[in-house]
Structure 1
């Protein structure tokens, strides 16, 4: 058994195809099949079985893949740690955030850090809070950013701190009858259609029915928060969003809400007592120092 076989196993499990994995791994399909066959012989169990035109993991394969992922993650961590020691001022910072945080907050904090650390690189994606916490615990990411800590209660291994508070405002199309109003009461919006962010993980920007006091008419719920502003500008509906500098006031109008809606709080989290590369630690310290600016 060798590292290459473990990497092959992981790729085939993800693609469910020997042909596609061979292309991605830049090896011939016969060589890939032979390598997996040798691994199966060594383990004395079948790892894959046919599933129509594709293949899938057997019950044995699923068990072994779980350990394979842990082993590969640890090896990758070790490689990164050695690279950090030889060049502590550069390296890759692996972060993940919820969709709404990645849209309205992360661009500013990342660009600000790169201005003073141009040699740093980011590996960045967005996920639900549960997946972020899982990846933090498995060492797949250095830092996580989220606007809900309901899932944090039973994750004592994760350290979370509040890094930013943002008030909610109403955005409407420029040609909307409310566009010139400086302030609006939620009571006056009963007959309006809303564009509401609805991520797969249920980490919604705001609970509409709870904040409005009635069940509003939702015209569309985009899974990607970055689409929300464009939909509002196109006249699909109005929306309640965090007030950030990213809102394009050329295409939508921002209206203050009279009622006291709870601010959105953005949190940063990391795995307690774990190794963090110098460049990742520098980014974490930068985010924390930005809180007090």
Structure 2
């Protein structure tokens, strides 16, 4: 077998340069000097007998050969990480790492509770949580950067045949209004009453906003007729705005458990309408699944109850 013209360290360095955007930042992230990084790249190019970076560019821009090596190098490093984690699993959850992904609302309000339950049982396992849009999280699972994820949006169509998507639980969406609003004194409001409210919403490009609009449409509620007073970029900001009397909003029930308990916002029920979305668990069926990921799926996700109007959080 011929000797390999590159080392794992050189692949790590190449990956770090592109991730960080420069040789200097890559050196800082790897805790080595910039000259050492440059020397490793020079040696790599000499061993391969082909340039990897565009010398005419001020930025760290790869040549076609550089991009090819980066793509295969990422797969090689990914397999190395899987190998290390598989060996750690032999210790029967006495160590190792679990990387979980989640979309924005799920990651903010649901996952910390789930991770807390897991940490109580397996304190030696290092748990990392990555919270991004459903699209970014789905790609991270597909690329093997995340063990499993719980999402509330739709997986990108190009990944639906690659990832294993399992329905997890229904997440109810609540219409919240200020406690001082006249509708807080009635048992139920009518669909038509929604068009009289002033609304606070997430940005139109938000995945959660799109999911809510789609579900409302399925219940013959036209969100395009809503009077949108303001658009905010976080659920916390929306809850605070509603609490301050600025308008109404649709949010996940999992995000308002504390506020409902304290009585600082009101959950207005719509007659004959229950609005729910499905949360899903996604994994890559062809990637190595660690014992920590399997345990999290079997012991934690099956124990947790999503709050509804008749339930609160429970273990």
- TM bin, normalised by shorter chain, reads 0.7 to 0.9
Which of 223, 226, 238 is residue 228 of structure 1 equivalent to?
A: 238
CA distance in 2, matches of 1:188, 1:166: 23
Flag the structure with higher strand content: 1
CA separation of 1:33 and 1:9: change in aligned 2, threshold 3 A: same
Does residue 172 of structure 1 match 2:172?
Answer: no
Please identify runs of 4+ aligned residues in structure 1 that moved more than 6 A. Answer: none
TM-score (norm 2): 0.80
Which of 271, 285, 288 is residue 258 of structure 1 equivalent to?
A: 271
CA separation of 1:73 and 1:247: change in aligned 2, threshold 3 A: same
Aligned partner of 1:134 in structure 2 is 139
> Could you tell me how far 1:153 is from its partner in structure 2?
8.3
How many aligned residue pairs are there? 293
Within-5 A mapping of 1:75-154: 75-149=80-154, 151=156
* Per-residue Cα deviation, 1:144-202 (whole angstroms, up to 9, x for no partner): 11123454686334322222112222112344443444432232122433222348663
Check conservation: 2:174, 2:250, Cα contact below 8 A.
yes
* Per-residue Cα deviation, 1:192-217 (whole angstroms, up to 9, x for no partner): 33222348663544116625325123
Which of 243, 248, 251 is residue 259 of structure 2 equivalent to?
A: 248
Check conservation: 1:163, 1:291, Cα contact below 8 A.
no
Within-5 A mapping of 1:209-228: 210=217, 212-215=221-224, 216-228=226-238
Q: Note the aligned Cα RMSD (angstroms).
A: 2.9
For structure 2, the 5+ residue unaligned runs are 1-5, 306-314
CA separation of 1:291 and 1:161: change in aligned 2, threshold 3 A: farther
Secondary structure of 2:93's counterpart equals coil
TM-score (norm 1): 0.86
CA distance in 2, matches of 1:162, 1:48: 45
CA separation of 1:154 and 1:38: change in aligned 2, threshold 3 A: closer
CA distance in 1, matches of 2:162, 2:96: 25
CA distance in 1, matches of 2:71, 2:130: 22
CA separation of 1:141 and 1:158: change in aligned 2, threshold 3 A: same
Which is further off, 28-37 or 126-135? 126-135
CA distance in 2, matches of 1:79, 1:276: 12
